[in-house]
Amino acid sequence: MTSVHPAFEAGARPRPLAAPWLRVYQRGLVTLDAAILALCLLVSAALATPERAELHGVAFSVVATLVAALWWAANGLTRSYEARFLGDGPEEFKRVAQAAVRTAAIVGVACYILKLPLARDFVAVFLPVGTVGLLVGRLLARAALRHNKKVGRWRHRVVLVGAPDRVVELGGLLARQPAAGYTVAGVCLPKASAAVGWPLLGDTSTVAQSA
């Protein structure tokens, strides 16, 4: 069960600003997934029996590449690169697994309908190895992300919104947890509130303009 810090319950909340590094990280994940699938493709194709080098007149290498491309696209369709799922929690890994299941289902149905012998000697190796490879890749990428957040390279800039005492409480919490990856860019407080140590970007009625 997810717990909520009292500062959030009382109305103080962080509003993230655009993080340029996030797009770099997302593009890196897309490239990493492609590299892992390409490597798994080569290993699996090498294990395919020679008599199946051609399937219904189509080169086996073409069919295998299409399967890998389908899987790569499925990772995007399951939103495994979406920012809110990256860096924390199990949802990112669930979506990578969902992409693998969907790819297996599509390939299995295609092999059955078209009578392709692909599922027995290629997919049986490619899907398990590829799934493990993608999940391990995401684990390593997440470890790199957390390290960069902790040392201050990749961080989310946020605006804290709420009552002064709760803003101070939440700001202190974020400062004590650098691995969470948040830097306070400023605050929005109710009108006539005292300064709290961060740039005042407006009152709580101007949150939309400030963020």
pLDDT value, residue 194: 65
pLDDT value, residue 207: 61
Burial of 156 (0-12, 13-18, 19+ CB in 10 A): buried
Residues of the chain with pLDDT under 70: 1-19, 48-59, 116-121, 179, 192-195, 205-211
pLDDT value, residue 49: 62
pLDDT value, residue 44: 83
pTM of the model: 0.71
CA-based nearest residue to 186, from 14, 11, 6: 14
Contact 127, 104 (CB under 8 A): yes
pLDDT value, residue 5: 40
Backbone Cα Rg of the chain: 24
Number of continuous H segments (helices) and E segments (strands) in the chain: 8, 6
User: Quick one: tokens of 71?
Assistant: 């899987």
